[in-house]
């Protein structure tokens, strides 16, 4: 993602009733400044330059610099790459926790509209089961607001494999390798995200999508 200035995103508390992220108890995850500081702090703790952090994560030094300055709102895909560079999972990066013991018989339950919310200019991501660390996949529910590939300044890619299920609306999956494909309510897709993909909504209603993103370190 590339941007010249930070984008002001809507507060989930002001979303209309019926919106999947509307809840009086929803965590708005108003943590953009905290996230920027966290990424910069993790890099500085390791004594890394932006170039070294870029080499570890696969995210360009210029993009990392913009994220740390608050000029760019990263996508979940970008955050996953950054987290992997620091040997964390994306939930640890968002929550600011670096270590968590691995336990047998683990489970986590996320009640409706209680996930951690991360907002970007193209979508609103609700990260599910965010209290469980070191997962082999990241589950999230995304409301896709982008209507055009032009809403993105770069085509995201990652080493992860991704499963998606369309809960509501029509999702258009745009790929560098394949022709765009429309997925409607109830449709599913599994793909290798090492090829760049962009996701957009078709129609007046924002698409709502459930994703499972594999841990790149698994």
Q: Residue 124's beta-bridge partner residues?
A: 119, 143
Neighbours of 64 (CB within 10 A): 24
Superfamily of the domain at 26-99+112-214: Jelly Rolls (2.60.120.10)
Tens of pLDDT, residues 8-35: 333 333 333 343 433 334 343 344 568 8
Neighbours of 157 (CB within 10 A): 17
Instruction: Return the pLDDT at 19.
Output: 39
Tens of pLDDT, residues 151-193: 988 888 888 899 999 999 999 999 999 999 999 999 999 999 8
- Show the DSSP H helices in the chain as ranges: 32-45, 50-57, 61-69, 76-85, 90-95
Tens of pLDDT, residues 48-100: 999 999 999 989 999 999 889 888 878 777 888 898 899 887 777 876 655 55
How far lies 50's CA from each of 17, 88, 157, 158, 159, in Å? 42, 18, 20, 19, 21
- Given a cut of 70, whether residue 41 has pLDDT beyond it is yes
Sign of the Cα torsion 64, 67, 73, 78 reads: positive
Helix (H, G, I), strand (E, B) or coil at 52: helix
What contacts 117, CB < 8 A, 6 or more positions away? 12, 21, 26, 27, 28, 29, 124, 125, 126, 127
- Given a cut of 90, whether residue 1 has pLDDT beyond it is no
Confidence bin at 216 (pLDDT 50/70/90)? low
Q: Residue 111's beta-bridge partner residues?
A: none
Helix (H, G, I), strand (E, B) or coil at 98: coil
- d(C-alpha 192, C-alpha 22), whole Å: 32
């Amino acid at each position: 993602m590339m941007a010249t200035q930070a984008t002001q995103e809507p507060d989930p508390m002001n979303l209309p009733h019926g919106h999947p992220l509307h809840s009086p108890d929803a965590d708005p995850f108003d943590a953009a400044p905290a996230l920027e500081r966290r990424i910069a702090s993790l890099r500085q703790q390791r004594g890394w330059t932006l170039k070294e952090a870029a080499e570890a994560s696969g995210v360009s030094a210029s993009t990392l610099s913009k994220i740390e300055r608050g000029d760019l709102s990263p996508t979940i895909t970008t955050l996953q790459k950054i987290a992997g560079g620091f040997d964390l999972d994306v939930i640890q990066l968002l929550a600011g926790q670096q270590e968590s013991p691995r336990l047998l018989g683990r489970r986590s339950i996320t009640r409706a509209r209680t996930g951690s919310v991360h907002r970007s200019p193209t979508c609103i991501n609700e990260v599910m089961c965010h209290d469980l660390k070191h997962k082999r996949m990241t589950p999230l529910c995304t409301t896709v607001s982008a209507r055009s590939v032009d809403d993105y300044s770069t085509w995201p890619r990652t080493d992860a494999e991704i499963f998606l299920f369309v809960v509501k609306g029509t999702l258009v999956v745009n790929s560098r390798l394949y022709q765009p494909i429309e997925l409607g309510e109830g449709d599913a897709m599994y793909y290798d995200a090492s090829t760049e993909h962009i996701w957009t909504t078709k129609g007046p209603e924002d698409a709502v999508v459930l994703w499972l993103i594999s841990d790149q370190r698994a």
